A and B are shown apart, each in its own frame.
Chain A
Amino acid sequence: MYKNPDYEYELIPVSEINAGNGRISHKCAYPALGASIEANGLITPLIVCRSGGRFEIISGFKRFDIIAKNTQAQTDGSVKIKCLVVKDLAPADRLWLNISENAASRGLNPVEEGEALKKLSAFYDKTVVIEKYMPAMSMQKSEYVYNRSASLCALIGDAKTSLVNGKLPLQAAAELVKFSSDEQRAFMDMAAATGMGANLLNETARLLFETAMQYGKTAGEIMAMASIASIIEDAKMTSNQKTETIRVKLHALKRPMYETAMARFRELAGEFEARRISVNPFAYFEKDELSVKFSITSAEDLSARIDALERLKKSRLAEEFLSGRQGGKTTGRKGKTSND
């Protein structure tokens, strides 16, 4: 049965209002909301409750931020705003009122979802939060989603702002939370200096994390190994060049054997690429074979390709890749070279 909440409207001096602990929104600039309040005044009242002779915000933190920026409003009590004062609400209920109000009216951004889950978990068991409150916030009822969302609370302010503004993709943010504050700051500096797009930010964050795990080092140490700080400070490079250089360096750290093998291969195979036969080494990583491809459109083409194949047969490339590289072993299943 529907029950009206117990509340009353009051005009309350801004100086008598405290922010309290229930905030889930991230503190940053809200230009659209600011412009609306400046033009129209506060249309939607704050929701507050009485607390120790003053008032505490339940819902309306962003609106309060904008109004309280005015020093006069904060100090002399001359600026009053209309508030809806609710009575007899337990702290957990006040929190849920704020979350549900915002979730219902405008939807929560990822940072707010994370804050909401973290704050709800202070009152309720994790299972209750997942089973009861996540669906009510239009979130998937899942421990994985819970963990990922709650972990976003560990982002530094700049990263949260970028995530809220859509400049930092969620996937990259989920990797960033595994980094220390300083490492996150360095990553955000890199993102700003290079202007990386969403896909590149995702790739770079993941590469940094995976390479750090691979080497048993921190993301900061990997950034140092890749000289990222000096790359972003290099005034001679364009943003695109910086991005590409960082990518190449991180990939080289992640795949050292591949890079070494490919560098050697390119050195030996360059001649054949110029002769329009494509020699692909990938099979070689598993088997003693090279994959050779070419196309012909005339008898002259055919002669040129046959000539190139003859050169390939006598080349150091074939010698190195097809024989003796592993210490004189033979090819084929019946080979006998053995250490056993």
Chain B
Amino acid sequence: MIRYYPEKIVILNEEKVTNSIVTANILKSVEGRAVPVSYMSEEAIDGLIAETKKNETAYFEGKKTLLITVNRGEFLKKCPGTNEYICCDYYIIDFAQNCPMECTYCILQAYLNNPFMVVYANTDDLFAELESRLSGVAEKKYRIGTGEFTDSLALEHLTQYSKILMDYFADKPNLIVEFKSKTDYIDTFTRYGAPPAGNILISYSMNARNVNLREELKTATIEERLTAAAECVKAGYKITLHFDPIIDYENFDTEMAATIELIFKYLEPSDIVYISLGAFRFIPALADIIAARFPKSRIIYDEFIKGYDKKSRYFRFKREKLFRTVIGLIRRYDPDKKIELYFCMESPEMWNALLPDAPASDEELGGTLYDKCGKCIKTKCG
């Protein structure tokens, strides 16, 4: 896949940013590319954002600018859930926002209020917050990811942020960290190898082959991601996979089978800690954005109900059918059930219908997944 390079870099003119290792990494990575760099005050940046947002092409044009700034809020956030659905008790490090890839279904299109690619460079604040919130919580089973408001690795060739985070978590084996991506970037992982604590998971988003080709634009293909995953396994990492969103698409069974066949061509069941399954869901504002930005995409034209989280989602019967197909295909290659499967934001009814031992709470599911990571890390999976 083609790596992202900004056409313009805007840097907040504050010491926390200008002296940051992240800023230094980015500037070094664009050396020789003649990328204009501007140092601006917060007010000037706000003005620039407001001006860019006026234009309807802001979604696309905005991404050409990389904004290096500070996160003045919390870095560590709880992944939001809804009481009626079971959540996996996940935490997020908000280190960057927006994504250079163009998945038609991406929620960030409706969620973010800043069109630029944003990287938070105040790593001292990040680590101070992590120290204060995570120290002395050995009993708490934290699984932490960085791929919620951006792709974990889409900017890694510029920022080396994952490397910085890996170094920080290297001596904190009770904290599991997951880098989730649709890229095939592996340098950070293959160059340095898996840290001895073994608490780093490399995670890839999976989808049916035709969904990947038609709805996940500018991303690595499924095969490229799996080639990268296999390289990470060689370097000593464990892999997690996420089928989310599962979309009711043309030739669903055969296209999904093609992807799952590829997974097990490149990976052994013992390489994979867990796989999550989530069906396509969206807020109303996103439907309008998808219709305007991707007029050829048909994913929003289906029969949906309004879920308890106010998002449109497929009827329960249809979701069950889709999940049953994916689970059946996975278990064909993993008959011994070494891989933990779980649902993202599904009801107890769905769990009861398709997966054993429906968790009684978000914490129970989070604990199960954490324990599974622990087992894989200390010994070998299976």
Give me the interface of A with B, judged by CB distance under 8 Å. 141-145, 210-211, 213-214, 216, 254-258, 285-288, 326-327, 329-340
A258 B56 Cβ-Cβ under 8 A: no
B298 A213 Cβ-Cβ under 8 A: yes
Residue of B302, B349, B354 near A331 (CB, 8 A) is: B349
A285 B301 Cβ-Cβ under 8 A: no
B315 A285 Cβ-Cβ under 8 A: yes
Q: Is B107 an interface residue (CB 8 A)?
A: no
Cβ proximity bits B301-333 to A, threshold 8 Å, 1 near / 0 not? 111010110000001111010001001100100
**Which residues of chain A are within 8 angstroms of B348 by Cβ–Cβ distance?**
287, 332-333, 335
Cβ proximity bits B181-213 to A, threshold 8 Å, 1 near / 0 not? 000000000000000000000000000000000
Q: How far is the CB of B240 from chain A (nearest CB, A)?
A: 18
**Which residues of chain A are within 8 angstroms of B298 by Cβ–Cβ distance?**
213-214, 216
B330-375 interface (Cβ within 8 A of A): 331, 337, 341, 347-349, 351-360
- Complex Cα–Cα for A338 and B328 (A): 12
**Which residues of chain A are within 8 angstroms of B328 by Cβ–Cβ distance?**
339
- Complex Cα–Cα for A333 and B298 (A): 35
Cβ proximity bits B273-309 to A, threshold 8 Å, 1 near / 0 not? 0000000000000000000100000100111010110
The 6 tightest CB contacts between A and B, nearest first, are A213-B301, A335-B352, A144-B56, A143-B56, A214-B301, A333-B348
A340 B337 Cβ-Cβ under 8 A: yes
**Which residues of chain A are within 8 angstroms of B352 by Cβ–Cβ distance?**
329-333, 335-338
Q: How far is the CB of A114 from chain B (nearest CB, A)?
A: 17
Cβ proximity bits B81-104 to A, threshold 8 Å, 1 near / 0 not? 000101000000000000000000
A214 B302 Cβ-Cβ under 8 A: yes
B10-27 interface (Cβ within 8 A of A): none
A258 B307 Cβ-Cβ under 8 A: no
Report the tally of A-B residue pairs with Cβ distances under 8 A. Answer: 92
**Which residues of chain A are within 8 angstroms of B86 by Cβ–Cβ distance?**
333
Residue of A286, A288, A336 near B307 (CB, 8 A) is: A286
Q: How far is the CB of A269 from chain B (nearest CB, A)?
A: 18
Residue of A143, A216, A329, A338 near B349 (CB, 8 A) is: A329
B355 A334 Cβ-Cβ under 8 A: no
- Complex Cα–Cα for A319 and B229 (A): 48
Q: Is B57 an interface residue (CB 8 A)?
A: yes
Q: Is B78 an interface residue (CB 8 A)?
A: no
A336 B349 Cβ-Cβ under 8 A: no
Q: How far is the CB of A258 from chain B (nearest CB, A)?
A: 7
Closest to A212 in B: B301
- Complex Cα–Cα for A211 and B54 (A): 32
Q: Is the interface of A mostly helix, strand, loop or mixed?
A: loop
- Complex Cα–Cα for A142 and B352 (A): 49
Residue of A214, A216, A286 near B347 (CB, 8 A) is: A286
A257 B353 Cβ-Cβ under 8 A: no
- Complex Cα–Cα for A287 and B57 (A): 41
- Complex Cα–Cα for A21 and B57 (A): 31
B358 A143 Cβ-Cβ under 8 A: no
- Complex Cα–Cα for A238 and B356 (A): 56
Give me the interface of B with A, judged by CB distance under 8 Å. 54-57, 84, 86, 292, 298, 301-303, 305, 307-308, 315-318, 320, 324, 327-328, 331, 337, 341, 347-349, 351-360
B327 A141 Cβ-Cβ under 8 A: no
Closest to A288 in B: B349
**Which residues of chain A are within 8 angstroms of B355 by Cβ–Cβ distance?**
338, 340
Closest to A178 in B: B295
Q: How far is the CB of B334 from chain A (nearest CB, A)?
A: 11
**Which residues of chain B are within 8 angstroms of A336 by Cβ–Cβ distance?**
352, 356-357
B316 A210 Cβ-Cβ under 8 A: no
Closest to A213 in B: B301
**Which residues of chain B are within 8 angstroms of A327 by Cβ–Cβ distance?**
353
- Complex Cα–Cα for A326 and B349 (A): 10
Closest to A146 in B: B56
**Could you show 15 A-B contacts with beta carbons less than 8 Å apart?**
A144-B56, A255-B303, A257-B303, A257-B317, A258-B303, A286-B349, A287-B347, A326-B349, A326-B353, A327-B353, A333-B359, A337-B353, A340-B331, A340-B341, A340-B354
**Which residues of chain B are within 8 angstroms of A141 by Cβ–Cβ distance?**
54-55
- Complex Cα–Cα for A286 and B56 (A): 36
- Complex Cα–Cα for A340 and B327 (A): 8
- Complex Cα–Cα for A285 and B315 (A): 7
Using A214-B303, A333-B352 as known contacts, list a sample of 6 further A-B pairs with CB atoms less than 8 Å apart, ordered by residue number in A.
Answer: A143-B56, A143-B57, A211-B301, A335-B348, A336-B352, A337-B352
- Complex Cα–Cα for A167 and B337 (A): 63
B351 A333 Cβ-Cβ under 8 A: yes
B354 A142 Cβ-Cβ under 8 A: no
B56 A142 Cβ-Cβ under 8 A: yes
B305 A258 Cβ-Cβ under 8 A: yes
- Complex Cα–Cα for A215 and B350 (A): 27
A286 B356 Cβ-Cβ under 8 A: no
- Complex Cα–Cα for A254 and B303 (A): 7
Closest to B292 in A: A144
Which has the most chain A C-beta neighbours within 10 Å: B57, B318, B324?
Answer: B57
Q: How far is the CB of A140 from chain B (nearest CB, A)?
A: 9
A339 B56 Cβ-Cβ under 8 A: no
**Which residues of chain A are within 8 angstroms of B347 by Cβ–Cβ distance?**
286-287
**Which residues of chain A are within 8 angstroms of B349 by Cβ–Cβ distance?**
286-288, 326, 329, 331
A340 B356 Cβ-Cβ under 8 A: yes
Given A143-B57, A144-B292, A335-B358 contact (CB < 8 Å): yes
- Complex Cα–Cα for A288 and B317 (A): 12
B358 A334 Cβ-Cβ under 8 A: yes
**Which residues of chain A are within 8 angstroms of B305 by Cβ–Cβ distance?**
258, 285-286
Given A254-B303, A285-B316, A334-B356 contact (CB < 8 Å): no
- Complex Cα–Cα for A333 and B357 (A): 8
Q: How far is the CB of B329 from chain A (nearest CB, A)?
A: 13
- Complex Cα–Cα for A170 and B67 (A): 38
- Complex Cα–Cα for A338 and B86 (A): 17
Q: How far is the CB of A261 from chain B (nearest CB, A)?
A: 8
Which has the most chain A C-beta neighbours within 10 Å: B56, B357, B360?
Answer: B56
Q: How far is the CB of B55 from chain A (nearest CB, A)?
A: 7
A286 B84 Cβ-Cβ under 8 A: yes
Which has the most chain B C-beta neighbours within 10 Å: A145, A330, A339, A340?
Answer: A340
Closest to A325 in B: B317
**Which residues of chain B are within 8 angstroms of A340 by Cβ–Cβ distance?**
327, 331, 337, 341, 354-356
B324 A339 Cβ-Cβ under 8 A: yes
